[in-house]
Chains A and B, each alone.
Chain A
Amino acid sequence: MLNHAEASEKFIEDAERTTWHDETLWFVRSKRDKVSKLLPEWEALREQASLIKDHTLANLGQYLEEFESKAQKNGIKVHWAKDAQEHNEIVLSIISKHGGKALVKSKSMLTEECHLNDFLTKKGVEVVDTDLGERIVQFRNEVPSHIVLPAIHLKKEDVGETFHEFLGTPKGNKDPQFLTEAARQHLRGFFLGANVAITGVNFAVAETGEFVVCTNEGNADMGAHLAKVHIACMGIEKMIPKRKDLGVFLRLLARSATGQLITTYSSHFAKPREGQEMHIILVDNGRTRQLARDEFRNSLKCIRCAACFNTCPVYRRSGGHSYHQPVAGPIGSILAPNFDKSANVDLPFASTLCGSCSNVCPVKINIHEQLWFWRQDLMKDGLAPLGKSLSMKGMAFVFSNPTIFKLAGYMGRMVMRFAPFIVNNSLNPWFKQREMPEAPKESFQSWYKNRK
């Protein structure tokens, strides 16, 4: 597996596509800026959302139990899963009970996190992702590169080719409307045939035992309304205390995500319709571990709007797949080490710590500070390559000793002045595409000494 720097280098090789990717996502960020600035109370809303989430996380156990009992009273079957494996087993057991061989799915990053598709496919169950972007990447045997715009790494030409291969659309056709219609026709059969539908959850309301799913395409509704069984999968951090809190979160979510005032559908699922079975799976999968870490707890406030992706100058130029995780971008980089430190040691370093992510975050997660904290945590665990630890020790030594610092600086400048080939070569990553600064005759300190 390539690390973030290696994968980014490959992505950037296609300069034109990188420009297009960067500009497309910047366009989304600009839309977000525009609509957020139409609300004088925008910053107050962010603060309110952040406080509600703080409060909820501080009382998570209590709210989860309240939600469970209300949901059960509504006739929803509630399951608890401690990890991805348990979650997947629960889904499978429900499907098996109903003799399903195919299911439709919409709007769930959690199932990506749990690698549900792989798991079910191996058990002989066909999973059909019904959201257009998800379906496209599923055809291509890829994973989403963005949590809101899963196929944003692809251009319409790529989609045309994929649909030609999998849906038999005419070769060379890249008309978005035509291709969307082809996908609709293709999916209709699955919607009508599936007896199980899986959806994600955006918000679970403890007060009422209902959950809310926000979508633009409406596939979650179509799936849930047609199928005999609806399984909703959610991370335990999706909890909010009261229905009225939605007035804060729904206003923030779509504006932050796509610059819309509100998602096309904000569907409330409170109880199964007659003859339907409704399940909800509450998944931990490392969340309680994160909850116990002071520095990283508030990463659990995330409402998965992806505003931090769209604003991140690194993400826009490296593409979601360079993060090698279901959730990419800045938020992914602070969530991933919680799952596996050594596999994700590169991610907290895939940032300049510019801080733009924290500024756009609708629930005020201090993302760039958490990136910094993860860097400390991972290095303390000894996950640095040997060369890096040595050079850091060397640097620390030089900077602790003014005499050595002055000597090293002097020698460095002299080398650059009289033997520049020693630094101006391919072993120096700075020099590959940038000139080195010009080395002056004397340092400031030596100038200052002579000035007196």
Chain B
Amino acid sequence: MRVALFVPCYVDQFYPQVAIASLELLEKLGIEVHVPSNQTCCGQPMANSGFASSTEGCDTNFFKNFEGFDYIVGPTGSCILHLKEHHPSEEIRNSVYEICEFLVDVLKVKSLSANFPHKIGLHQSCHGQRGLRLSSMTELNEAPFSKLAQLLDLVNGVEYVYPERADECCGFGGTFCVTEEAVSVRMGQDRVESHLKNEIEYIVGGDTSCLMHMEGILKRQGSKVQVKHIVEILNHA
């Protein structure tokens, strides 16, 4: 099985610990992980801004870095969804996986040697949840399930809780966070507040961008609560 780790641009630059945890976790599970060194961005920031027509260079670069792998795995649901829906190459579209999806559906992980004795608020990011179907959605009349929760159930000591309005958006929304600053911030503040009501120590999710947004708000409020990507929990010894 040829597996490549996709490290989205902003994770590479601002959240290297998320990529490191992804890499180490996959290696612990016996996977030989390739990390193409000239990868940059999935193209979503341009496409969601209405400039899908300008992503050609980005798409080509992605293809050059990732062609020929069986699985392309990344720690951000949103970038993965973009690739799955919009990358021009069918090969790429069919081989990208969000990391939780990969662990549950492909590796069928049944045990982890992880330990995280803390209470965490589980944040369900929209693109992972509604786009990639990582969990059931409150709007639909369907049986509840969650691939993220399934993985957390394998971690020692962790207690996870959902906020009220279990799957409301945090308001990040890509360039929305600056073009619609007021609404974006208000959504983020509301989301953070409902997590904090549960007296948690960490807000944990599968999409680094939502976490970055909520982290910015938590820090501005001077809160001690931190954000962590779920792979950091799953990889925590």
Residues in A lying within 8 Å of B, measured CB to CB: 4-5, 8-9, 12, 18, 22, 26, 33, 36-37, 39-40, 42-43, 311, 313-314, 317-318, 348-356, 358-360, 372, 375-376, 378-380, 384, 388-389, 392-393, 395-402, 405, 409, 412-413, 429-430, 432-440, 442-445, 447-449
Taking the nearest CB of chain A, how far is it from the CB of B65, in angstroms?
8
Q: What 1/0 flags go to B9-47 for Cβ under 8 Å of A?
A: 101111111011001000000000001011111010111
The residue of chain B having its C-beta at the shortest distance from the C-beta of A42 within the complex is B141
B197 at the interface (CB under 8 A from A): no
Q: For the complex, what is the distance from the CA of A376 to the CA of B55, rounded to whole Å?
A: 12
Judge whether B9 and A433 touch: CB under 8 Å.
no
B216 interfacial by beta-carbon distance below 8 Å: yes
A389 contacts which chain B residues (CB < 8 A)? 51
- The answer to whether A388 and B49 touch (CB under 8 A), given A37-B141, A430-B216, A449-B37, is yes
A352 neighbours in B (Cβ, 8 Å): 126, 169, 171-174, 176, 184, 187
CB neighbours (8 Å) of A445 from chain B are 7, 12, 35, 37
A-B residue pairs in contact (CB < 8 Å), sample of 29: A9-B182, A12-B186, A36-B141, A43-B140, A311-B139, A313-B168, A349-B49, A352-B126, A359-B140, A375-B50, A376-B47, A376-B52, A378-B50, A402-B37, A402-B39, A405-B41, A412-B13, A429-B178, A430-B177, A430-B178, A432-B181, A433-B181, A435-B219, A435-B220, A437-B215, A443-B13, A444-B16, A444-B20, A445-B7
Chain A contacts of B13 at CB under 8 A? 409, 412-413, 439-440, 443
Quote the shortest CB–CB distance from B234 to chain A (angstroms).
18
Q: Which residue of B lies closest to A36 (CB)?
A: B141
Q: Give a binary string over B208-222; 1 marks a CB under 8 Å from any A CB, 0 the rest.
A: 000011011101100
Bound state CA distance, A389 and B51, in angstroms? 8
Q: Report the bound CA distance from A313 to B126 in whole Å.
A: 12
Taking the closest CB of chain A, its distance from the CB of B106, in whole angstroms, is: 23
Contact with A along B155-170 (1 / 0, CB 8 A): 0000000000101110
* Cβ–Cβ < 8 Å partners of A440 in chain B: 13-17
Q: Which residues of B are interface residues toward A (Cβ below 8 A)?
A: 7, 9, 11-17, 19-20, 23, 35, 37-41, 43, 45-58, 60-61, 126-127, 130-131, 137-142, 165, 167-169, 171-174, 176-188, 190, 212-213, 215-217, 219-220
> Nearest-CB distance from B87 to chain A (Å)?
13
Whole-angstrom distance from the CB of B134 to the nearest CB of chain A?
Answer: 13
Q: Which chain B positions have C-beta within 8 A of A438?
A: 14
B131 pairs with A444, CB closer than 8 A: no
A399 touches B14 (CB 8 A): no
Q: Which residues of B contact A432 (CB under 8 A)?
A: 181, 185
Closest to B191 in A: A313
- Complex-state Cα separation, A160 to B39, whole angstroms: 61
Output the least CB separation between B77 and chain A (Å): 12
A37-B144 Cα distance, complex, nearest whole Å: 12
Chain B residues, Cβ within 8 Å of A378: 50
Contact of B165 among A12, A26, A379 (CB under 8 A): A26
Query: Within the complex, what minimum Cβ distance (angstroms) separates B179 from chain A?
Result: 6
Which residues of A have CB within 8 Å of B180?
A: 4-5, 8, 314, 349-350
Known: A33-B138, A350-B183, A375-B49. 13 other contacts (CB 8 A): A5-B180, A317-B183, A376-B47, A376-B52, A380-B53, A393-B54, A399-B9, A401-B40, A402-B37, A437-B216, A448-B19, A448-B23, A448-B37
Q: Which of B16, B41, B142, B183 contacts A447 (CB 8 A)?
A: B16
- Whose C-beta in chain A lies nearest to the C-beta of B185? A433
Distance in Å: Cβ of B162 to nearest Cβ of chain A: 15
Q: Are B130 and A355 in contact (CB under 8 A)?
A: yes
The 9 closest A-B pairs by CB, nearest first: A400-B57, A352-B173, A434-B216, A379-B50, A375-B50, A359-B139, A402-B38, A354-B169, A444-B16
Most buried by A among B16, B53, B54, B141: B141
Closest to A446 in B: B16
- CB A26 to nearest CB in B, in angstroms, measures 7
**Complex contact B176–A399 (CB within 8 A):** no
Q: Which residues of the other chain, A, contact B15 by a CB distance below 8 angstroms?
A: 437, 440
List chain B residues, Cβ under 8 A from A376: 47, 50-53
Contact A409 B12 (CB under 8 A): yes
Residues of A within 8 A of B212 (CB): 437
B contact residues around A33 at 8 Å (CB): 138-139
- B81–chain A nearest beta-carbon distance, Å: 10
Inter-chain contact B179/A349, CB cutoff 8 Å: yes
Nearest CB in chain A to that of B182: its residue: A9
Q: Are B217 and A433 in contact (CB under 8 A)?
A: yes
Task: Return chain B residues, CB-CB under 8 Å to A356.
Answer: 126, 130, 139, 167-169
In the bound complex, CA of A39 to CA of B142 (Å): 11
Inter-chain contacts of B43 with A (CB < 8 A): 399
The reply to whether A434 and B217 form a contact with Cβ atoms under 8 Å apart is yes
B138: A residues at CB distance < 8 A: 33
Of B37, B60, B186, which one neighbours A400 at CB under 8 angstroms?
Answer: B60
CA distance A241 to B48 in the complex (A): 37
B11 to A354, Cβ gap below 8 A? no
Q: Tell me the complex Cα distance, A353–B128, Å.
A: 12
